[in-house]
Amino acid sequence: MGSYMYAVFTRKRTFLDRVLDPVDRVIYRIAGIDPTVQQTWWPYARAMLVTNGVMFVSLFIILVTQQFLPLNPDGMGAIDPFLAFNTAASFITNTNWQAYGGESTLSYFSQLFAIIFPMFTSAATGLACGIAFIRGLGGSVTLGNFYSDLVRSITRIMLPISFVAAVVLVALGVPATFEGAATATMLNGPLAATPAPSASPTDISQGTQTIARGAVAPLTSIKHLGTNGGGWFNVNSAHPFENPNALSNVLENVLMALIPTALIYTLGLMLVRKRQAWTFFWVMAGFFVVFLVIAYLGEVVVNNPILTGAGLDPSQGNLEGKEVRFGQALTALFVTSTTAFTTGTVDAMHDSLTPLASITPLSQMFLNMIFGGKGVGFINLIIYAIIGIFLTGLMVGRTPEFLGKKIEVREVKLASLAFLVHPFLILGAMAVTFALQLDLTSIPNPSFHGFSEVMYAYASGAANNGSAFAGVNANTPWWNTSLGVVIILGRYLSILFMLALAGSLAAKRTTPMTVGTMRTDTPLFAGVLSGTILIVGALTFFAVLALGPIAEHFAMLSGKVF
């Protein structure tokens, strides 16, 4: 996959070119775009911002007018403007935070054009910016052409793979239909000849049940391949129509991992530095395995005295909020994957994780460098690398260098700004919410757990992850607005600083490697990089972790839960 993406973005021949080249040319002609024009970092960023801005307005209009649009067999009404703002911001940024239940809120038209459509374009935007960043690291003053990178990401990568994955998901039992909700006769049978007009979706007195369905398989495939995360149903991949069995669960994990992991190899090919790419890969993989173990042990080895006192078998671990068809192992893998790859899809309720296990998704969103989405993870890892190289250079008294480029004041400032955006948005939004007591009634759980729920929500938004603890009622004006702003700033400020950093590095002359140069493709540097991540991450976020899941864990051991 990494080799294929390398061929796509370096314009080498691929087996799909003969079919898709004419499609690309039609798109360019309709849009009036010359894909051969090369852009420096600011024109590239500007094209990205304008394109995403136009799509954001389009999504908002679709959502607030969906009652007038076609493909609405279940008669869904208009969406509140605050919710429409949050949803449009979420899906255009590849966050896919959902403050709504898809099956009870959106028409099929909205699901197709305000949800599935931006799942392709937002994923392609992230991948395009990641590729542009790699070009800058390689010394190219021009970072490519945003429009060309966007189109080729969709036609060469997103569409073909998601189409095949959707067909496989249909074979596994995931529905794909434009028919409205189905009405099923329950086991007790209808007790009346005709259901009453006021019958609820599940009306036992009438013996019928309304079962939502739709084009679920197409959404589910791009949801995971594009590391999007928004589900057709409110409970996401815990719903049997989105994730029917263990095989589909594994497939969805593979789709989440496919592009983020392969992109590291693409980086090695484009920079002609495979060893450097493998060094990055194993640092990320090491963090992934450690957090996977924490998540699994947290759910299996609970040591909750309340469970023991109630006569429950502690060897069963924590099964609350989980689907029994997955159990703790596949759930722990999904929890780790969805936050490592910044996907946001869930196959269990994260609010029901033990305090120890909840450290995994929170920490991965805080660090935001364990593979990440399409380019986000390795870009953030390189920011940590630049900070680590700078600190190491100060300690040994040498000018720091990275990939043959001297790291000077401008690069350190840009890397620091790109890093600080993330904690500033999370901690700043939390501080404003609690200090001004804004809509705290939406937090049903008291004390440490409620604190963790707020922390998780803003961390998910700032990391463009989109998963939720599912304990906060986020569909209010304050939560929709504040999370929407955090989501937008977390996406675009980071990208702007990163592209500016790539442009700055690209403009520098390559410095020949000498015996005094610190190599960045060795196990020693992998250790330095890992230590930098842990120290900087701990200094930034340990205090809030101590007030949330760590405090809750000790409270649980003393027999108190929230």
The secondary structure element, H or E, covering residue 166 is helix 159-172
Q: Which residue has the higher pLDDT, 248 or 140?
A: 248
Contacts of 427 (CB under 8 A, 6+ apart): 544
Q: Is the pLDDT of residue 171 over 70?
A: yes
Q: Is the pLDDT of residue 63 over 90?
A: yes
Nearest alpha-carbon partner for 9 in 137, 135, 164, 163: 135
Q: Which of 56-65, 107-116, 191-200, 521-530 has the lowest mean pLDDT?
A: 191-200
Is 129 among the domain residues?
yes
Q: What angle do CA 341, 347, 349 make, to 5 degrees?
A: 105
pLDDT in tens, 230-270: 899 989 999 999 999 999 999 999 999 999 999 999 999 99
Q: Which residue has the higher pLDDT, 184 or 43?
A: 43
3-state class (DSSP) for residue 144: strand
Here the tokens at position 347 are 């196959």
Is 432 among the domain residues?
no
Question: What is the rounded CA–CA span in Å between residue 511 and residue 405?
Answer: 6
Q: How many CB atoms lie within 10 A of CB 40?
A: 16
Alpha-carbon distances of 410 from 39, 146, 399, 475, 507, rounded to whole Å: 21, 24, 14, 41, 12
Read off the pLDDT of each residue in 174-181 and give the average, rounded to a whole number.
Answer: 91
Q: Is the pLDDT of residue 562 over 50?
A: yes
pLDDT of residue 517: 72
pLDDT of residue 193: 42
Identify the band that residue 205 occupies on the pLDDT scale cut at 50, 70 and 90: low
pLDDT of residue 209: 84
Number of domains in the chain: 1
Is 65 among the domain residues?
yes
Q: Is the pLDDT of residue 199 over 80?
A: no
Q: Is the pLDDT of residue 197 over 50?
A: no
Q: What pairing do the DSSP bridges indicate for beta strands 182-185 and 208-211?
A: antiparallel
Q: Which of 202-216, 387-401, 502-516 has the lowest mean pLDDT?
A: 202-216
Per-state percent for the chain, helix, strand, coil, to nearest 5: 65, 5, 30
Q: Is the pLDDT of residue 201 over 60?
A: no
Residues spanned by the domain of 82: 2-180+213-256
Is 279 among the domain residues?
no
Sheet with 202-203: strands ordered across: 182-185, 208-211, 202-203
pLDDT of residue 194: 46
Is 416 among the domain residues?
no
Is 48 among the domain residues?
yes
The amino acid occupying position 325 is R
Contacts of 436 (CB under 8 A, 6+ apart): none
pLDDT of residue 372: 83
Tell me what percent of the residues of the chain surpass a pLDDT of 90: 66
Separation of CA 123 from chain center = 10
Question: What is the rounded CA–CA span in Å between residue 409 and residue 152?
Answer: 35
Instruction: Answer whether 0.85 is exceeded by the pTM.
Output: yes
3-state class (DSSP) for residue 405: strand
Alpha helices in 368-405 (DSSP H): 376-396
Read off the pLDDT of each residue in 78-101 and give the average, rounded to a whole number.
Answer: 93
Q: Is the pLDDT of residue 198 over 50?
A: no
Is 301 among the domain residues?
no
Is 562 among the domain residues?
no
